[in-house]
Amino acid sequence: MSETLNYLTKDIVGDSVDSLVVQGIDHVRAHGDELDARAGTGVQAYNVNYILTDPYNRVHALRAPTSIGYLARELLVYFQGTLNAQDMANAARFWLSIQDDDGKINSNYGYYVFHQTVPDGRTQYEWMIDVLDKKPKSRRPIININQPHHKTETKDMPCTIAMQFFVQDNHLCSVISSRSTDVITGLPYDQGFFSFVLELAHQDLVDKGHTDLKLGYSMMKATFTQLYDSRKKLEDEILAKRGQEIAPVFMPRITYAKAVLDDIANGTAISEIIQWCQENG
């Protein structure tokens, strides 16, 4: 008789990114299978939902100040929308190691959200907001990240497939489909960006007259989620802080969506949240 294949999903729920990371380490260590991939050896678990119930609590404070600086720099290059590896290296030199022969990368998620357009010329973000503004119960608002042209021998196939936005019990929520999520170097910063976009979209809809709409959860549905042996020291350092009084770090709240969107489109820093990124990056 063959062994029963485990098809169950695991919900990891937390009110902070730090909580998700700690629980993610525990889960993958306890239930992960051995992994040998291009990025190295380690362990990986399957079908994990990382659910952030407080999208404002998106800053990975357990590795501060390093993690805060990286998040801020990554957000800035995401807002820029660049696909040039040299520009992405302003966030981390790592991006140079996965550039293609033409010096480009594919995983600048900000490009797909704020710069890539749909056939009528609107950005994917603008299209998503317009759909929800006209029909809040719509099931269509999706921002595509992984694209058909990524199906090549590229070193950088985006780990995120798509972002879906919807209203549940009068809360704007988002579910992010991810083919693969690294607990240490992916999860905290991806949730940092995805929860930012959720907060921005929520405020945008409030500004457009949906004043009773509340901010919901940001869920990352990861088919694979992994820990690499090369980062075990970082895992241990994070777990060593479990139970300690670590003060949470918050980015400024978005109070007017258009100001933030104008900053992203124009490369300016008028809004407080973009100023925070520049000051911390």
In angstroms, rounded to a whole number, what is the distance separating the alpha carbons of residues 163 and 129? 13
> Residues of the chain with pLDDT > 70: what percent?
99
Residue 188 has pLDDT above 60, yes or no: yes
In a domain, residue 5? The reply is no
Domain count along the chain = 1
pLDDT at 5: 86
In angstroms, rounded to a whole number, what is the distance separating the alpha carbons of residues 74 and 84? 13
In a domain, residue 2? The reply is no
pLDDT at 242: 87
Q: Burial, 43: exposed, middle or buried (Cβ in 10 Å; 0-12, 13-18, 19+)?
A: middle
Decide if 117 contacts 124 (C-beta within 8 A).
yes
Residue 161 has pLDDT above 70, yes or no: yes
* Amino acid identity, position 209: G
Q: Which residues pair with 51 in a beta bridge?
A: 13, 219
> What mean pLDDT do residues 99-113 have?
96
Domain containing residue 173: 10-280
In a domain, residue 3? The reply is no
In a domain, residue 270? The reply is yes
> What mean pLDDT do residues 10-31 have?
98
Mean pLDDT over each residue of the chain, to the nearest integer: 96
| Residue pLDDT, tens place only, 116-126 | 999 999 999 99
In a domain, residue 4? The reply is no
pLDDT at 245: 84
Residue 1 has pLDDT above 60, yes or no: no
Phi, psi of 108 (to 5 degrees): -85, 95
| Residue pLDDT, tens place only, 26-60 | 999 999 999 998 888 999 999 999 999 999 999 99
In a domain, residue 1? The reply is no
pLDDT at 4: 82
> What mean pLDDT do residues 86-115 have?
96
User: Any idea what the CATH number is for the domain that residue 113 is in?
Assistant: 3.30.572.10
> What mean pLDDT do residues 175-187 have?
97
Residue 181 has pLDDT above 90, yes or no: yes
| Residue pLDDT, tens place only, 234-262 | 999 999 998 888 999 999 999 999 999 99
In a domain, residue 196? The reply is yes
